[in-house]
Structure 1
């Protein structure tokens, strides 16, 4: 918890810096700009205006209420992104649902990433440098990777070159963002590790993820024990005939299934005979997910 307190204090310190007229930062070349770009800053909600060009105009009241409840209990897990307009004035770039939900629960401040003007190159540099830091937890790293994808439009291949990490490593971090927010918070606070998260992400139902997460914390399960629990979960929910067929698959098919699942961030099924005949099944739930998988397959 000391780590979280330290980060929160840092955010407040940067917030005070931005409220000092003598330190008004307008470009990446200004003094102290390096302390702001790429860091999380606690900003007053009243100093932030919504983006008039926001494509989404309708917000589901029920979904917004659920998010507000989550924020009340857990805080804002993923910081919003704003663009600095004038002295102590900012405009939303992304995160309007989090912004609105935070107002609903009466928060006065919100964690935010600040973009100085429109300098995409400087933002990219800051994010890459941020990823290289040694004190980041796995969720923070995953969020930085996601921001490079969303805001800089970097592919995982290009990101691999920029940050000097294998694409499979980047994929493993990004998959953590598919975990329930409660589990993401547990990883950030050190109750579980990235290894536990990588195992849990193979469970699609969030309620089942949380149930196993509670077992991990309550029984102090190791990563290996968690992996076995996830395997048992799938065996229990899989029809007997499927399990029997899967058990007959040769070693090369089982190995390939694990590699493809990790590479594509999708639950790939490989069925094969000892003679090498078989089939590969890759499920997807949306057109967007289909296009993502197709792109990864084509690019190799």
Structure 2
């Protein structure tokens, strides 16, 4: 069995995966903040998942891990993971020491793109799949001809930090980044919890239908920002498919419907937008499908086995 760790801006997931791609164990926990806490939570969760699988880290054939930020796969160093309070972290070295085995590392969105490609797009190996992650932040990754594209410095796909206008301050230090329009942090800013508090998984589209005007404004901004992200990916990469994942996909059909309406309205106003046929290219990953953790278990070099959709998750 193999272990995949997904250290996200909000949640860390540990997946024990059989060599044929079946999910054996999945454990999740709130992510730590700061280098020490990030490593401590990830290592503890990994050991918990390994124990639940009835084995030890020494009995695993491979361990992979991913997290946000710029990741040097060769050195194992992670930098600028701002949502986790990490400026620089030797993730491979510190996790490897904690688990007693070598750990391969990569950027979380690129890893999720790999997982999404193998789980959802196995037959389409000749095209380009763009994975758009709308979680605490916003980023994208590309898989072309079955390979993840990276760019010379690994920053390819960091579309969340493209300034698109507006005055909202982004955690990267710029203002008006795309991430300030469509992301979990953007939703928190545009529709903050009320005095009595709201559950983290609150739905602005449902609240808007109930008469919440601030929720309606936030939902409209999310839809517009998501449209811009999808259109940008299609125009700049020629992606055949846009697979959307991340924490905000918990909004499910409401998010899909809002995006479809946004695309329809824009297409009616522009023959050019209509010609892109964006609606036919989009697919949402089920929120409970741990594509990044599963992708992390596939980071090893060399041929990968043909994976199967994990049992217990929606088809």
Instruction: Determine which structure has more spread, i.e. the larger CA radius of gyration.
Output: 1
Q: TM-score, normalised by structure 2?
A: 0.27
User: Going by fraction, where is helix more abundant, 1 or 2?
Assistant: 1
User: Going by fraction, where is strand more abundant, 1 or 2?
Assistant: 2
Whose relative contact order is higher, 1 or 2, with alpha carbons under 8 Å and at least 6 apart?
2
